[in-house]
């Protein structure tokens, strides 16, 4: 065996690699400089305001770029008065596995109290501030302007408001609505068994009779137009917190306005679900976003 016979092959391979990574300029081979692939990064409790609850966790994927990497904002539920971004960690884990080209922003916001602190639209304003903060950091984070809003329950209501009411400074590309309210007047006048009107009245600082303007301005349904972002709505038929009628009313108005939408109905599920139906939900969300967020 004569090892030196392999040297010409090695030398040829070296020349091939070298020349394919160079450009010829004025008869001289000039190396092409490529940017290094960015590593995945997690930033916890990033402040977007001065209140301790005005914080978010940001998950930046490996290999992100300012032209390609999409962003999905997650908003927890809890009747606008409880809950935490940690409630959304199972969603974060699933999205990181399924949608590796997305950055994920998991938001906390100020919570309303029964004593009347942080009443609406405090929560709406916080989500708006968080989205604007991330938008201002796009170059630093190496992310694109392709933003998606997603939320559960009260968080879905906040996601819809952001997407439907605020087309600038950045227009949301799509919305994921998991059993969220969209008509606050109906939430008060036609409540589900586990959503007493008294709680809505505290949040909204009155009733639809005494504070109609706030109820209207807090209802995503009333902001649907022909330019509303594509929306996927997922709801359970046995929901005792937000009536399925909230979902079908939104679906019908989106359809009437020619807005791309998908309604996913689970007849036996309540206010949230697990197992096979949750997996099915993620499948449908993934397919919907792949279609409408390019």
Residue by residue, DSSP assigns 50-114 as SSTT-EEEEEEPTT--TTT-EEEEEE--STTTS--GGGGHHHHHHHHHH-TTEEEEEE--PPP-T
* The dihedral formed by the CA atoms of 215, 175, 265 and 107, expressed in degrees to the nearest 10: -80
Among candidates 126, 176, 178, 187, which has minimal Cα distance to 152? 178
What backbone torsions phi and psi does residue 263 show, to the nearest 5 degrees?
Answer: -110, 120
pLDDT given for residue 16 in this prediction = 36
Mean pLDDT of the chain: 91
pLDDT band with cut points at 50, 70 and 90 for residue 21: very low
DSSP label of 194: T
pLDDT digits (tens, 9 = 90+) for 211-254: 999 999 999 999 999 999 999 999 999 999 999 999 999 999 99
Residue 160 preceded by cis peptide, ω within 30 = no
Instruction: Report the pLDDT averaged over residues 8-25.
Output: 38
The strand pairing partners of 24, in sequence order, are 29
Residue pointed to by tokens 């390019």: 294
pLDDT digits (tens, 9 = 90+) for 166-204: 999 999 999 999 999 999 999 999 999 999 999 999 999
Domains of the chain: 1-34 (no CATH), 36-292 (3.40.50.1820)
Check whether 152 has a pLDDT greater than 60: yes
């Amino acid at each position: 065996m004569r090892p030196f016979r392999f040297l010409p092959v090695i030398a040829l391979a070296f020349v091939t690699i070298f020349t394919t990574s160079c450009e010829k300029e004025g008869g001289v081979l000039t190396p092409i400089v490529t940017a290094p692939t960015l590593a995945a990064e997690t930033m916890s409790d990033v402040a977007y305001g001065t209140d301790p609850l005005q914080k978010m966790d940001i998950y930046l994927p490996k290999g992100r770029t300012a032209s390609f990497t999409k962003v999905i904002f997650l908003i927890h539920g809890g009747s606008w008065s409880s809950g935490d971004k940690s409630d959304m960690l199972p969603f974060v884990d699933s999205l990181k596995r399924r949608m590796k080209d997305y950055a994920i922003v998991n938001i906390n916001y100020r919570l309303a109290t029964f004593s009347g602190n942080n009443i609406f639209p405090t929560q709406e304003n916080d989500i708006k501030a968080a989205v604007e903060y991330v938008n201002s950091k796009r170059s630093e984070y190496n992310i694109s302007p392709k933003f998606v809003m997603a939320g559960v329950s009260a968080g879905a209501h906040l996601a819809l408001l952001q997407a439907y009411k605020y087309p600038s400074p950045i227009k949301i590309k799509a919305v994921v609505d998991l059993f969220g309210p969209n008509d606050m007047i109906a939430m008060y006048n036609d409540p589900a068994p586990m959503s007493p009107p008294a709680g809505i009245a505290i949040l909204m600082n009155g009733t639809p009779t005494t504070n109609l303007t706030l109820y209207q301005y807090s209802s995503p349904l009333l902001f649907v137009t022909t330019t509303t972002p594509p929306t996927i709505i997922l709801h359970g038929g046995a929901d005792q917190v937000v009536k399925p009628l909230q979902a079908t009313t939104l679906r019908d108005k989106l359809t009437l306005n020619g807005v791309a939408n998908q309604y996913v109905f689970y007849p036996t599920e309540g206010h949230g679900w697990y197992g096979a139906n949750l997996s099915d939900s993620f499948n449908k969300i993934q397919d919907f976003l792949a279609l409408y967020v390019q």
